[in-house]
Amino acid sequence: MAERADVVFVDGVRTPFGRAGEKGMYWNTRADDLAVKAIIGLMERNPAVPKERIDDVAIAATTQQGDQGLTLGRTAALLAGLPKSVPGFAIDRMCAGAMTSVTTIGSGIGFGAYDLGIAGGVEHMGRHPMGFGADPNPRFLAEKLVSGDALNMGITAERIHDRFPHLTKERSDRFGMRSQQKVAAAYEAGKFQPDLVPVAIRSESGWGLATRDEGMRPETTMEGLASLRTPFRPHGRVSAGNASPLTDGATVSLLASGDAAKELGLTPKMRMVGFAFAGVEPEIMGLGPVPSTEKALRRAGLTIDDIGLFELNEAFAVQVLSFLDHFGIDDEDPRVNQWGGAIAIGHPLAASGVRLMIQLAAQFVEHPEVRYGLTAMCVGLGQGGSVIWENPNWNGKA
Protein backbone atom coordinates (compact mmCIF):
# COMPACT_ATOMS: atom_id res chain seq x y z
CA MET A 1 0.00 0.00 0.00
CA ALA A 2 1.35 3.43 -0.97
CA GLU A 3 2.42 5.81 1.78
CA ARG A 4 0.40 8.97 2.31
CA ALA A 5 1.45 11.67 -0.15
CA ASP A 6 2.27 15.22 0.85
CA VAL A 7 -0.63 17.57 0.01
CA VAL A 8 0.45 21.06 -1.03
CA PHE A 9 -1.44 24.26 -1.76
CA VAL A 10 0.16 25.48 -4.98
CA ASP A 11 -1.89 28.60 -5.63
CA GLY A 12 -5.23 30.28 -5.02
CA VAL A 13 -7.14 33.18 -6.58
CA ARG A 14 -10.50 34.80 -6.09
CA THR A 15 -12.82 37.27 -7.69
CA PRO A 16 -13.30 40.58 -5.93
CA PHE A 17 -16.23 40.20 -3.54
CA GLY A 18 -19.35 42.22 -4.30
CA ARG A 19 -22.30 43.41 -2.22
CA ALA A 20 -25.27 41.11 -2.65
CA GLY A 21 -28.48 42.52 -4.08
CA GLU A 22 -29.66 44.78 -6.89
CA LYS A 23 -27.14 47.50 -6.04
CA GLY A 24 -24.22 45.09 -5.95
CA MET A 25 -21.73 44.89 -8.79
CA TYR A 26 -22.55 41.25 -9.64
CA TRP A 27 -26.34 41.64 -9.87
CA ASN A 28 -26.18 40.96 -13.63
CA THR A 29 -23.45 38.31 -13.39
CA ARG A 30 -24.20 34.59 -13.15
CA ALA A 31 -22.85 32.68 -10.17
CA ASP A 32 -21.30 29.94 -12.28
CA ASP A 33 -19.52 32.57 -14.39
CA LEU A 34 -17.80 33.85 -11.24
CA ALA A 35 -16.44 30.35 -10.60
CA VAL A 36 -15.46 29.95 -14.26
CA LYS A 37 -13.60 33.28 -14.25
CA ALA A 38 -11.68 32.22 -11.14
CA ILE A 39 -10.68 28.86 -12.67
CA ILE A 40 -9.50 30.56 -15.87
CA GLY A 41 -7.45 33.01 -13.80
CA LEU A 42 -5.92 30.19 -11.76
CA MET A 43 -4.87 28.20 -14.83
CA GLU A 44 -3.48 31.30 -16.58
CA ARG A 45 -1.28 31.91 -13.51
CA ASN A 46 0.00 28.34 -13.64
CA PRO A 47 0.89 27.65 -17.30
CA ALA A 48 3.21 24.79 -16.29
CA VAL A 49 0.18 22.73 -15.26
CA PRO A 50 -1.17 20.67 -18.19
CA LYS A 51 -4.96 21.04 -18.11
CA GLU A 52 -5.46 17.36 -18.84
CA ARG A 53 -3.50 16.48 -15.69
CA ILE A 54 -6.19 17.94 -13.40
CA ASP A 55 -7.72 14.86 -11.75
CA ASP A 56 -10.87 16.46 -10.30
CA VAL A 57 -12.61 19.79 -9.74
CA ALA A 58 -14.64 20.45 -6.56
CA ILE A 59 -16.72 23.65 -6.45
CA ALA A 60 -18.92 24.32 -3.44
CA ALA A 61 -22.16 26.27 -3.19
CA THR A 62 -24.64 26.46 -0.33
CA THR A 63 -27.77 26.95 -2.42
CA GLN A 64 -27.40 24.48 -5.27
CA GLN A 65 -30.09 25.63 -7.66
CA GLY A 66 -30.43 27.88 -10.69
CA ASP A 67 -27.02 29.17 -11.77
CA GLN A 68 -25.48 27.49 -8.72
CA GLY A 69 -26.91 24.09 -9.65
CA LEU A 70 -26.06 21.40 -12.21
CA THR A 71 -22.95 19.93 -10.54
CA LEU A 72 -20.89 23.11 -10.45
CA GLY A 73 -17.47 21.47 -10.45
CA ARG A 74 -18.18 19.74 -13.74
CA THR A 75 -20.01 22.59 -15.49
CA ALA A 76 -17.48 25.22 -14.37
CA ALA A 77 -14.58 23.02 -15.52
CA LEU A 78 -16.12 22.65 -18.99
CA LEU A 79 -16.95 26.36 -19.24
CA ALA A 80 -13.41 27.27 -18.14
CA GLY A 81 -11.93 25.29 -21.00
CA LEU A 82 -10.62 22.27 -19.14
CA PRO A 83 -10.65 19.09 -21.25
CA LYS A 84 -13.82 16.98 -21.21
CA SER A 85 -11.73 14.21 -19.64
CA VAL A 86 -11.49 16.24 -16.41
CA PRO A 87 -14.31 15.32 -13.99
CA GLY A 88 -15.89 17.56 -11.37
CA PHE A 89 -18.44 17.66 -8.59
CA ALA A 90 -20.36 20.03 -6.34
CA ILE A 91 -20.14 20.12 -2.56
CA ASP A 92 -22.10 21.73 0.27
CA ARG A 93 -21.11 22.36 3.85
CA MET A 94 -22.71 25.79 4.02
CA CYS A 95 -20.04 28.34 5.09
CA ALA A 96 -17.28 25.71 4.98
CA GLY A 97 -18.01 24.65 1.40
CA ALA A 98 -14.72 25.73 -0.18
CA MET A 99 -12.83 24.51 2.89
CA THR A 100 -14.47 21.09 2.41
CA SER A 101 -13.64 21.18 -1.30
CA VAL A 102 -9.99 21.61 -0.31
CA THR A 103 -9.99 18.90 2.37
CA THR A 104 -11.83 16.49 0.03
CA ILE A 105 -9.47 17.02 -2.92
CA GLY A 106 -6.56 17.05 -0.46
CA SER A 107 -7.69 13.72 0.97
CA GLY A 108 -7.75 12.22 -2.53
CA ILE A 109 -4.20 13.46 -3.09
CA GLY A 110 -3.03 12.14 0.28
CA PHE A 111 -4.61 8.77 -0.47
CA GLY A 112 -2.82 8.60 -3.81
CA ALA A 113 -5.92 8.79 -6.03
CA TYR A 114 -5.10 12.28 -7.40
CA ASP A 115 -1.95 14.16 -8.39
CA LEU A 116 -3.59 17.54 -9.06
CA GLY A 117 -6.96 19.01 -8.22
CA ILE A 118 -8.90 22.28 -8.24
CA ALA A 119 -10.96 23.16 -5.16
CA GLY A 120 -13.05 26.22 -4.44
CA GLY A 121 -16.50 27.66 -3.96
CA VAL A 122 -18.94 30.30 -5.09
CA GLU A 123 -21.90 32.08 -3.56
CA HIS A 124 -24.16 34.61 -5.23
CA MET A 125 -26.17 35.66 -2.18
CA GLY A 126 -27.96 38.29 -4.26
CA ARG A 127 -29.45 35.61 -6.48
CA HIS A 128 -29.57 32.89 -3.83
CA PRO A 129 -30.24 34.13 -0.27
CA MET A 130 -29.18 31.64 2.39
CA GLY A 131 -31.84 28.97 2.84
CA PHE A 132 -33.97 30.25 -0.03
CA GLY A 133 -36.14 27.48 -1.46
CA ALA A 134 -35.06 24.99 1.21
CA ASP A 135 -37.70 22.81 2.87
CA PRO A 136 -36.40 21.85 6.35
CA ASN A 137 -37.83 18.60 7.63
CA PRO A 138 -40.61 19.52 10.09
CA ARG A 139 -39.24 16.99 12.57
CA PHE A 140 -36.26 19.31 13.13
CA LEU A 141 -38.62 21.52 15.12
CA ALA A 142 -41.36 19.08 16.13
CA GLU A 143 -38.88 16.74 17.81
CA LYS A 144 -36.91 19.69 19.19
CA LEU A 145 -33.74 18.63 17.38
CA VAL A 146 -33.08 22.32 16.82
CA SER A 147 -34.65 25.53 18.03
CA GLY A 148 -36.66 27.41 15.41
CA ASP A 149 -34.20 30.27 15.45
CA ALA A 150 -31.16 28.01 14.99
CA LEU A 151 -31.59 28.56 11.26
CA ASN A 152 -31.12 32.32 11.74
CA MET A 153 -27.37 32.93 11.94
CA GLY A 154 -27.76 36.36 13.53
CA ILE A 155 -29.75 34.93 16.42
CA THR A 156 -27.13 32.23 16.96
CA ALA A 157 -24.56 35.03 17.30
CA GLU A 158 -26.76 36.84 19.85
CA ARG A 159 -26.85 33.60 21.82
CA ILE A 160 -23.07 33.54 22.10
CA HIS A 161 -23.28 37.02 23.61
CA ASP A 162 -25.90 35.63 26.05
CA ARG A 163 -23.71 32.71 27.02
CA PHE A 164 -20.57 34.79 27.51
CA PRO A 165 -21.57 38.22 28.92
CA HIS A 166 -17.92 39.35 28.97
CA LEU A 167 -18.05 39.26 25.14
CA THR A 168 -19.67 42.69 25.08
CA LYS A 169 -21.08 44.62 22.16
CA GLU A 170 -18.25 47.11 22.60
CA ARG A 171 -15.66 44.34 22.11
CA SER A 172 -17.49 43.11 19.02
CA ASP A 173 -17.75 46.65 17.63
CA ARG A 174 -14.06 47.29 18.24
CA PHE A 175 -13.15 44.04 16.50
CA GLY A 176 -15.37 45.03 13.55
CA MET A 177 -13.80 48.47 13.33
CA ARG A 178 -10.28 47.00 13.45
CA SER A 179 -11.19 44.57 10.66
CA GLN A 180 -12.18 47.50 8.45
CA GLN A 181 -8.97 49.37 9.30
CA LYS A 182 -6.76 46.34 8.66
CA VAL A 183 -8.37 45.59 5.29
CA ALA A 184 -7.96 49.22 4.22
CA ALA A 185 -4.29 49.16 5.25
CA ALA A 186 -3.72 45.86 3.43
CA TYR A 187 -5.28 47.27 0.25
CA GLU A 188 -3.11 50.37 0.58
CA ALA A 189 -0.05 48.13 0.87
CA GLY A 190 -1.07 46.01 -2.15
CA LYS A 191 -1.56 42.79 -0.19
CA PHE A 192 -4.82 41.58 -1.79
CA GLN A 193 -4.44 42.74 -5.37
CA PRO A 194 -2.01 40.04 -6.63
CA ASP A 195 -4.56 37.28 -5.98
CA LEU A 196 -7.66 39.01 -7.37
CA VAL A 197 -9.00 38.03 -10.80
CA PRO A 198 -10.76 41.02 -12.43
CA VAL A 199 -14.32 40.34 -13.58
CA ALA A 200 -16.19 42.16 -16.37
CA ILE A 201 -19.47 43.48 -14.99
CA ARG A 202 -22.54 45.00 -16.61
CA SER A 203 -24.79 47.66 -15.12
CA GLU A 204 -27.31 50.23 -16.37
CA SER A 205 -24.42 52.57 -17.13
CA GLY A 206 -22.66 49.98 -19.28
CA TRP A 207 -19.72 47.60 -18.92
CA GLY A 208 -17.09 47.90 -16.22
CA LEU A 209 -14.43 45.88 -14.43
CA ALA A 210 -14.57 44.62 -10.84
CA THR A 211 -11.05 44.90 -9.44
CA ARG A 212 -11.54 45.29 -5.65
CA ASP A 213 -13.90 44.22 -2.90
CA GLU A 214 -17.04 46.33 -2.78
CA GLY A 215 -18.18 46.17 0.84
CA MET A 216 -15.34 47.92 2.66
CA ARG A 217 -16.11 50.77 5.08
CA PRO A 218 -12.72 52.14 6.20
CA GLU A 219 -14.34 55.23 7.72
CA THR A 220 -16.00 53.10 10.44
CA THR A 221 -15.87 54.57 13.97
CA MET A 222 -16.88 53.24 17.37
CA GLU A 223 -19.43 56.07 17.65
CA GLY A 224 -20.98 55.12 14.34
CA LEU A 225 -21.09 51.43 15.28
CA ALA A 226 -22.76 52.20 18.60
CA SER A 227 -25.65 53.85 16.76
CA LEU A 228 -26.43 50.95 14.39
CA ARG A 229 -29.64 49.06 14.96
CA THR A 230 -29.55 45.41 16.06
CA PRO A 231 -31.86 43.63 13.62
CA PHE A 232 -31.97 40.24 15.31
CA ARG A 233 -33.11 41.43 18.74
CA PRO A 234 -34.24 44.73 20.27
CA HIS A 235 -31.29 46.18 22.23
CA GLY A 236 -29.19 43.30 20.94
CA ARG A 237 -25.47 43.23 20.31
CA VAL A 238 -25.16 41.97 16.72
CA SER A 239 -25.30 44.69 14.06
CA ALA A 240 -24.22 45.26 10.48
CA GLY A 241 -20.99 46.73 11.87
CA ASN A 242 -19.79 43.63 13.71
CA ALA A 243 -21.03 40.98 11.28
CA SER A 244 -20.13 40.00 7.73
CA PRO A 245 -22.33 41.51 5.00
CA LEU A 246 -24.23 39.49 2.41
CA THR A 247 -21.76 38.98 -0.42
CA ASP A 248 -21.22 37.52 -3.90
CA GLY A 249 -17.92 36.00 -5.02
CA ALA A 250 -15.87 32.94 -5.98
CA THR A 251 -12.56 31.39 -4.94
CA VAL A 252 -10.46 28.53 -6.33
CA SER A 253 -7.21 26.83 -5.42
CA LEU A 254 -4.77 24.43 -7.05
CA LEU A 255 -3.71 21.48 -4.90
CA ALA A 256 -1.07 18.91 -5.74
CA SER A 257 0.91 16.04 -4.33
CA GLY A 258 4.44 16.94 -3.34
CA ASP A 259 5.76 14.67 -6.11
CA ALA A 260 3.55 16.18 -8.81
CA ALA A 261 4.55 19.68 -7.75
CA LYS A 262 8.22 18.71 -8.02
CA GLU A 263 7.72 17.02 -11.40
CA LEU A 264 6.01 20.11 -12.87
CA GLY A 265 8.37 22.62 -11.26
CA LEU A 266 5.64 24.16 -9.09
CA THR A 267 6.52 26.02 -5.89
CA PRO A 268 4.11 25.09 -3.09
CA LYS A 269 2.82 27.96 -0.96
CA MET A 270 1.68 25.73 1.92
CA ARG A 271 1.63 22.09 3.00
CA MET A 272 -1.53 20.63 4.52
CA VAL A 273 -0.71 19.23 7.96
CA GLY A 274 -4.21 18.14 8.94
CA PHE A 275 -7.83 19.17 9.26
CA ALA A 276 -10.94 18.49 11.30
CA PHE A 277 -14.62 19.24 11.33
CA ALA A 278 -16.76 19.13 14.46
CA GLY A 279 -20.38 19.59 15.45
CA VAL A 280 -21.89 21.76 18.18
CA GLU A 281 -25.44 22.74 19.13
CA PRO A 282 -26.96 24.46 16.07
CA GLU A 283 -28.23 27.27 18.32
CA ILE A 284 -24.62 28.34 19.02
CA MET A 285 -23.04 27.40 15.70
CA GLY A 286 -20.39 30.12 16.11
CA LEU A 287 -18.57 28.04 18.71
CA GLY A 288 -17.88 25.32 16.12
CA PRO A 289 -14.25 26.28 15.35
CA VAL A 290 -13.24 25.61 18.97
CA PRO A 291 -13.75 21.81 18.95
CA SER A 292 -12.70 21.47 15.30
CA THR A 293 -9.42 23.25 16.07
CA GLU A 294 -8.84 21.18 19.20
CA LYS A 295 -9.43 18.02 17.19
CA ALA A 296 -7.13 19.12 14.33
CA LEU A 297 -4.34 20.12 16.75
CA ARG A 298 -4.63 16.84 18.68
CA ARG A 299 -4.43 14.74 15.54
CA ALA A 300 -1.44 16.75 14.28
CA GLY A 301 0.38 16.44 17.61
CA LEU A 302 0.44 20.24 17.98
CA THR A 303 -0.84 22.79 20.48
CA ILE A 304 -2.39 26.20 19.95
CA ASP A 305 1.01 27.71 20.88
CA ASP A 306 2.50 26.15 17.73
CA ILE A 307 0.23 28.26 15.51
CA GLY A 308 2.00 31.42 14.37
CA LEU A 309 -0.71 32.87 12.10
CA PHE A 310 -4.48 32.60 12.26
CA GLU A 311 -6.99 33.28 9.48
CA LEU A 312 -10.40 33.08 11.18
CA ASN A 313 -13.58 33.75 9.23
CA GLU A 314 -15.37 36.74 10.68
CA ALA A 315 -18.95 35.62 10.16
CA PHE A 316 -19.64 37.57 13.35
CA ALA A 317 -17.14 39.35 15.58
CA VAL A 318 -18.48 37.58 18.68
CA GLN A 319 -17.82 34.21 17.07
CA VAL A 320 -14.13 35.06 16.55
CA LEU A 321 -13.90 36.56 20.05
CA SER A 322 -15.29 33.37 21.61
CA PHE A 323 -12.55 31.40 19.82
CA LEU A 324 -9.82 33.79 20.95
CA ASP A 325 -11.06 33.78 24.55
CA HIS A 326 -11.20 30.00 24.65
CA PHE A 327 -7.58 29.70 23.59
CA GLY A 328 -6.33 32.63 25.68
CA ILE A 329 -5.54 34.86 22.70
CA ASP A 330 -5.88 38.64 22.95
CA ASP A 331 -8.43 40.47 20.78
CA GLU A 332 -5.56 42.48 19.25
CA ASP A 333 -3.08 39.61 18.87
CA PRO A 334 -1.01 40.43 15.75
CA ARG A 335 -1.07 36.77 14.66
CA VAL A 336 -4.83 36.94 14.05
CA ASN A 337 -6.34 38.15 10.75
CA GLN A 338 -3.40 40.41 9.98
CA TRP A 339 -5.16 41.90 6.95
CA GLY A 340 -8.64 42.00 8.42
CA GLY A 341 -11.44 39.67 7.44
CA ALA A 342 -15.00 39.00 6.39
CA ILE A 343 -16.56 41.87 8.35
CA ALA A 344 -14.90 44.20 5.82
CA ILE A 345 -14.28 41.92 2.82
CA GLY A 346 -17.53 39.97 2.92
CA HIS A 347 -18.46 36.33 3.37
CA PRO A 348 -19.86 34.69 0.24
CA LEU A 349 -20.68 31.55 2.25
CA ALA A 350 -19.26 28.56 0.34
CA ALA A 351 -16.39 30.62 -1.15
CA SER A 352 -14.83 31.94 2.05
CA GLY A 353 -12.67 29.00 3.11
CA VAL A 354 -10.25 29.41 0.21
CA ARG A 355 -10.06 33.18 0.79
CA LEU A 356 -8.65 32.41 4.23
CA MET A 357 -6.08 30.10 2.65
CA ILE A 358 -5.05 32.62 -0.02
CA GLN A 359 -4.36 35.21 2.68
CA LEU A 360 -2.49 32.76 4.92
CA ALA A 361 -0.31 31.63 2.01
CA ALA A 362 0.64 35.24 1.22
CA GLN A 363 1.43 35.92 4.87
CA PHE A 364 3.64 32.83 5.10
CA VAL A 365 5.98 34.43 2.54
CA GLU A 366 6.32 37.50 4.77
CA HIS A 367 6.82 35.46 7.94
CA PRO A 368 9.52 32.80 7.50
CA GLU A 369 9.78 32.64 11.30
CA VAL A 370 6.27 31.08 11.41
CA ARG A 371 6.08 27.34 10.84
CA TYR A 372 2.34 26.62 11.24
CA GLY A 373 -0.83 28.53 10.42
CA LEU A 374 -4.52 27.85 10.90
CA THR A 375 -7.60 28.56 8.78
CA ALA A 376 -10.85 28.08 10.71
CA MET A 377 -14.52 28.96 10.42
CA CYS A 378 -17.93 28.38 11.92
CA VAL A 379 -20.60 26.62 9.88
CA GLY A 380 -24.39 26.91 9.85
CA LEU A 381 -26.42 24.18 11.59
CA GLY A 382 -23.76 23.88 14.29
CA GLN A 383 -20.37 22.92 12.86
CA GLY A 384 -16.80 24.14 12.75
CA GLY A 385 -13.96 23.50 10.32
CA SER A 386 -10.20 23.89 10.81
CA VAL A 387 -7.19 23.25 8.56
CA ILE A 388 -3.58 23.40 9.77
CA TRP A 389 -0.91 24.41 7.26
CA GLU A 390 2.90 24.36 7.29
CA ASN A 391 4.97 27.21 5.88
CA PRO A 392 7.48 25.99 3.24
CA ASN A 393 9.44 29.22 3.80
CA TRP A 394 10.05 28.40 7.48
CA ASN A 395 13.61 29.26 8.43
CA GLY A 396 13.74 27.06 11.53
CA LYS A 397 13.78 30.02 13.90
CA ALA A 398 10.97 30.79 16.32
Q: What is the pLDDT of residues 256-269, one digit of tens each?
A: 999 999 999 999 99
> Residues 178, 342, 38, CA angle at the centre, nearest 5°?
135
pLDDT at 4: 85
pLDDT at 135: 86
Catalytic residue, candidates 124, 128, 161, 347: 347
Q: Is the pLDDT of residue 1 over 60?
A: no
Catalytic residue, candidates 124, 161, 367, 378: 378
Confidence of residue 204 (pLDDT cuts 50, 70, 90): confident
AA identity, residue 351: A
**What is the secondary structure of 79-116 as a DSSP string?**
HTT--TT--EEEE-BTBTHHHHHHHHHHHHHHHTS-SE
Average predicted confidence (pLDDT) for the chain:
96
**What is the secondary structure of 44-91 as a DSSP string?**
HH-TTS-GGG--EEEEE-SS-SGGG-S-HHHHHHHHTT--TT--EEEE
pTM of the model: 0.97
pLDDT at 288: 98
pLDDT at 211: 97
Domain limits of the chain? 7-126+245-389
Question: Are residues 132 and 123 in contact, defined by beta-carbon separation less than 8 angstroms?
Answer: no
DSSP bridge partners of 251: 14, 121
Of all residues in the chain, what percent are helix, strand and coil, respectively (each to 5)? 40, 20, 40
d(CA 270, CA 264): 16
Q: What digits encode the pLDDT tens for the residues 64-87? A: 999 999 999 999 999 999 999 999
Catalytic residue, candidates 95, 124, 161, 367: 95
The percent of residues above 70 in pLDDT, for the chain, comes to 99
Q: What digits encode the pLDDT tens for the residues 289-325? A: 999 999 999 999 999 999 999 999 999 999 999 999 9
Confidence of residue 202 (pLDDT cuts 50, 70, 90): very high
How many other C-beta atoms lie within 10 A of the C-beta of residue 378? 33
Question: Are residues 357 and 9 in contact, defined by beta-carbon separation less than 8 angstroms?
Answer: yes
pLDDT at 2: 57
> Residues 27, 33, 39, CA angle at the centre, nearest 5°?
135
Q: What digits encode the pLDDT tens for the residues 110-137? A: 999 999 999 999 999 999 988 888 888 8
Confidence of residue 205 (pLDDT cuts 50, 70, 90): confident
Q: Is the pLDDT of residue 398 over 70?
A: no
Residue 235 is among the residues annotated as catalytic for this protein: no
Q: Is the pLDDT of residue 278 over 60?
A: yes
DSSP bridge partners of 58: 89, 119
Q: At 298, which helix (H) or strand (E)? A: helix 289-300
Residue 367 is among the residues annotated as catalytic for this protein: no
pLDDT at 306: 98
Residue 378 is among the residues annotated as catalytic for this protein: yes
Q: What is the mean pLDDT of residues 241-255?
A: 98
How many other C-beta atoms lie within 10 A of the C-beta of residue 211? 13
Look up the CATH architecture of domain 7-126+245-389.
Answer: 3-Layer(aba) Sandwich (3.40)
